[in-house]
Structures are given as structure tokens and as C-alpha cells.
Amino acid sequence: MKNNRKFYRNSLWVGLGSVIILLVILTSCPGIEPNKHEDPLARVEDKYFYPSDLPDFFHGEISAEDSAKIAKSYIQKWIKKELLLEKAELNIPSEKQRDVLKKLEDTRASLMIYEYQQQLVNQKLDTVVTQSEIDEFYNQHMNNFILNHNIIKTLFVQLPLNSPNITNVRRWYRSNNSEDLTKLEGYCYQYATKYDYFNENWIPFDQLLNIMPISVTNQESFLKYNHNIETSDSIYLYFINIREYKLKGSNTPIEYISYNIKSIILNNRKIKFLKELENNIYYDALSRNKFEIY
């Protein structure tokens, strides 16, 4: 008998799943208004749950049985939430309820204003930052851009231990001659497991140390006295030529900080844009007597 009841309940939910799918399809059609031309799926006191209240999980290949399980779970969660809300409304003092409503209204207002501001920012804010703007900002705030770590411009080569013509590599990686560097690049294309030429870009010295099999206790001293570095481990040979370095505590080079400066300029521009928007709306409303202060 119990099995029959279980079979009946499962069959009922499977059937309901098919009905829900049909109702969702029907209620999504133009001209059919939700909650007026729908049969409810559940009720808690005077609140009703309709097929259109279900989330859009009936897409793709989903069986009637699976849809029924999902729908049943979702409806039960809705019922529990409404019952709990009913208890809360009965037991929370009215002044506390007013506080909750005030917080909800404040949150709604903040979200609406934020969405409106973002819409205008996306439509009207000029996002082009020229190099001259970056240079000007850097020169005006140079003392604020101080390095908190050591940075370098370097050439880095990682080769298997059995790589050929290492004598040539030792000569090429130390050279500033463009022809030698071209030969090194061609060689590394064939044999190197890693080749980076950071001649134009600054990188943190720590980034290089993370891939080198050496231990450096005093970075400042190491950078002052080591420009060409050769080392190895059980698998690779490493060749490093430090072209230039800047020590912690010195002014950050503009090339290293230009992306951050661009972000600061855009953020300042956005703040100014939103402040002007706020003032324009205020003074427009003032000129049209849309508000009064008593």
C-alpha cells in the first residue's frame, strides 16, 4: 500500500512537471498576463505561487521527472520562506519593521541611482587617456610614486643542459649589439625552454628570483655588483643580463606605473562627471521649483 502511495505521489509530480512546462510556455507567450490567466501551484494564506514565478530552468533537455523534482523543491522553499516571513511580521515590533522598510527603501534608492549613474558613465564618459595626460599627472605627483620593491630590465635565457654552442650564447647574451641579439633570439627559438627580453619593460626583481636557482639575501648589493649571471641546476642552464635596475625607495619609473596612473585619471574623471551630474540635476530642479526646503 505504501509503495502504491509513493508511486502515486511520484506520478503526480511527474504529471505536474509536464503541466508546469506547458504553463511556463503559455505564460511566456505575448498577450497572456501572469497571475491573471494562470492557475496557482501553491498558496500560503493569501499569497499565491504561479508557474511564472518559477525560475527559467526549463531550458535544454530536461525530463518531466527532473522538472517535477526541481519545481517541487523550489515551491517548498517558497512556502517555508513565506511561513517564516509571516512569523517574523507577527513577532517583530512595528518600529523594527519600519526600520527594515526604511533600509529596503534606502537600498532600492541606492541601487537605482547606481544603475542610472553607470548607464550615463558608459554612454558619456570619455575613456581616452593620452600619454601627455599621464606624463603631466606623473610629474605633478612624482613624490607619491615610490617603489616598495626592486625592479629590473633584463634578458633571461633558460636552456637544457645539453644545448649546443653555449660559448656563443655566453657572448650574445652579454652584448648590446642588435646583430648579436638577433642571433641569440634565433638560437633561443630553436633550443630555449624560456626566453624573455625585458629591455623595454620593468619587472619586479622577485619575479626573476622565483625562476632562478639562486638565493639572494641582499638584493640591493646583488644588483649593484651583478649584471651578467650564469647558473644552473640539474636540468637547465640560466643566463641573465640585468640591463638596468631601480632600488626600493626610489621614484617609480613612469613606464612601470603608467597603467595605474591611467586608472587614477579615469577614476578622477568619473568622480568629477558624477559630481557635475548631481549638481546639474539639483540646480535644474531648483530653477523649476521642484523642491522646497522648510
What percent of the chain is predicted at pLDDT more than 70? 86
What is the pLDDT of the chain when averaged over all its residues? 86
Domains located in the chain, CATH noted: 2-91 (no CATH), 147-246 (3.10.50)
- In this prediction, residues 240-259 reach a mean pLDDT of 95
Q: HSE on the CB side for 11, CA within 13 Å?
A: 6
Residue 30's contacts (CB-CB under 8 Å, 6 or more residues apart) are: none
CB atoms within 10 A of CB 199: 13
- In this prediction, residues 253-257 reach a mean pLDDT of 95
Residue 21 clears pLDDT 80, i.e. is over it: no
- In this prediction, residues 1-11 reach a mean pLDDT of 46
Residue 7 clears pLDDT 80, i.e. is over it: no
Residue 159 clears pLDDT 50, i.e. is over it: yes
The pLDDT, as a whole number, for residue 69 is 86
Q: Are 146 and 250 in contact (CB under 8 A)?
A: yes
Residue 59 clears pLDDT 60, i.e. is over it: no
Helix, strand or coil, per DSSP, at residue 220: helix
